[in-house]
Structure 1
Amino acid sequence: MKLEGRFWITHNGKDLAGERRIALLSRIDSTGSISQAAKAVGVSYKFAWDSVDAMNAAAGSPLVERSAGGKGGGGTRLTPAGHALIEAFHRYEREHQLFLERLGEDAGISSFLEIMERLRMKTSARNQLFGKVSSIQRGEVNDQVEFHLDSGDRLLASITNDSTERLGLEVGEAIYALIKASWVLLVDSDFAPNDPSDNLLRGEVRQTIRGAAETEVEIELPGGAHIAAVLSNEHADGLELSIGKPVAALIKASHIILGRF
């Protein structure tokens, strides 16, 4: 699983311990320049600096530092800790590859690796959905990422260009979506959204929990996925909710947080 500012060993080897960031560190070491390193790795200058800041913060001590200016001007260089991290990464990479090769021979375990990764997740978001990217529409500031859930339902998320790049999103990539229950608006099943980028997932009420001021509602989608919403008791009463009643969950594309395995 890949989370910003941390290094994780993934079971599919696509981003072993933050492979792209390690490549960035290696290029900084060889070129002495963040701008040249960013160009060589294929990322923006801003992404490179953000990555360096995140790595320095995650390590607890600087991995990259500015070198003093001289006749040729200042530059950027790795600290001893930065060199040690690169060396450790390559050791982990070799050992992890051997582990994967051994694990790949055991079909009874390898097929459950992604499920086990999902079970490790701990977030405050009530809704945690899993799927794969089906398309990415680039924009000047925000990108529209379409993905299909494991259940077959379709969702559209709006995230910044930098977020798309930071996550390394590509079509076919396995991702997860986090949606706070308070960001889900329940509407009548025949509701038609005005904004084409809004997500409308139709299903049936599965459970309601009423509190003093708010009601939590869980709906089940046709594909089997569940969506939870928290709404005011007044709104819930207006919908006349009951178990099995058809309803729809309206979710704005900007209210979906994406993560990548």
Structure 2
Amino acid sequence: MKLDGRLWITRNGKNLAGQGRIELLAHIAESGSITQAAKAMGMSYKAAWDAVDAMNNAAGSALVQRSVGGKGGGGTRLTEAGQQLIESYRRYQEEHRRFLERLGEDLQLESLLQLMERLNLRSSARNQLAGQVLSVQAEGLNDRVEFQLAGGQVLHALITHASTARLGLEAGAQLCALIKAPWVHLLAADAASGNGDNRLHGHLAELHADAEHTEAVVELDGGGQLVAVLSTAQAQGLQEGQAVQLLIDAEQIILCA
């Protein structure tokens, strides 16, 4: 796996000069012109000089010097301190590049990155479940995606062909399923009635009720958790620790990958 990254150095909780300002110094060294360096960085002339002034002031000695007129027509150049800063930073960049190469060789990295992406996912859906695709079957204008949760239980989602292609879903692919709590229907474990493409099993871990609604937190058999919202009248008789089953329509599962 090839990884890319930018190098930022932090000390005592504060970000120090990053790659952008070092690149600006490098362009000044190459071109001898603040105008050309600013153009190469995609920034204005004023912004470039403001950055240079800030670096000069922070360094305590000039990193960049500007000469006006003269035989050479003037220009901008790095001082010895500026050159040393670039050389040092490039050594750290090289070490950073080698680190990314070694990290990319870690066979467990892909699963870790996928987990980090899911942890960073923000959604209004209360339920977010990770799974692995078992099969994808065409069903009319849609595809039925069968996937297995980490705890072993299986769900089906019905999505369009275009969505399947866009997400790159095939057997073995990792995905995340989003399910809004009101879409989860809760029944007693021994109930035979109820419609739904998916029937999961677990037990009630928590119940939170107000005058109108009850929020039921269900620990799934094998691991994982789902939240269902039902009316307080429907929740009458439910008790924490009770075995239950959850019904979910395949069309009410949103997939992301």
Work out whether the TM-score is over 0.5: yes
Structure 2 CA distance, aligned partners of 1:188 and 1:108? 40
Which residue identity is paired with 1:154? V
Aligned residues: 166
Q: How many Å apart are 1:102 and its aligned residue?
A: 3.1
Which residue identity is paired with 2:249? K
Which residue identity is paired with 1:212? A
Partner of 1:231: 230
Structure 1 CA distance, aligned partners of 2:108 and 2:134? 28
SS in 2 for 1:102: helix
Q: 1:98 to 1:184 in 2, by over 3 A?
A: farther
Which residue identity is paired with 2:179? I
Matches within 5 A, 1:60-75: none
Percentage identity across paired residues of the two chains = 48
Which residue identity is paired with 2:206? Q
Partner of 2:152: 152
For the aligned residues, what is the CA RMSD? 2.8
Query: Where does structure 1 lack aligned partners over 5 or more consecutive residues?
Result: 1-11, 17-96
Which residue identity is paired with 2:198? N
Which residue identity is paired with 2:217? E
Comparing 207-216 with 115-124, greater Cα deviation is found at 115-124
| Segments of 4+ moved more than 2 angstroms | 97-102, 104-115, 191-195
Partner of 1:253: 250
Bigger Rg over Cα? 2
TM-score normalized by structure 1?
A: 0.57
Q: How many Å apart are 1:193 and its aligned residue?
A: 5.3
Q: 1:179 to 1:98 in 2, by over 3 A?
A: farther
Verify the 8 A CA contact 1:139 1:161 in the aligned structure 2: no
Matches within 5 A, 1:65-214: 101-105=101-105, 112-192=112-192, 198-214=197-213
TM-score normalized by structure 2?
A: 0.58
Deviation track 1:94-117 (CA, whole Å, cap 9, x = no partner) reads: xxx988633134678666323222
Verify the 8 A CA contact 1:193 1:200 in the aligned structure 2: no
Q: How many Å apart are 1:202 and its aligned residue?
A: 1.1
SS in 2 for 1:234: coil
Structure 1 CA distance, aligned partners of 2:238 and 2:224? 19
Structure 1 CA distance, aligned partners of 2:161 and 2:193? 25
Partner of 1:215: 214
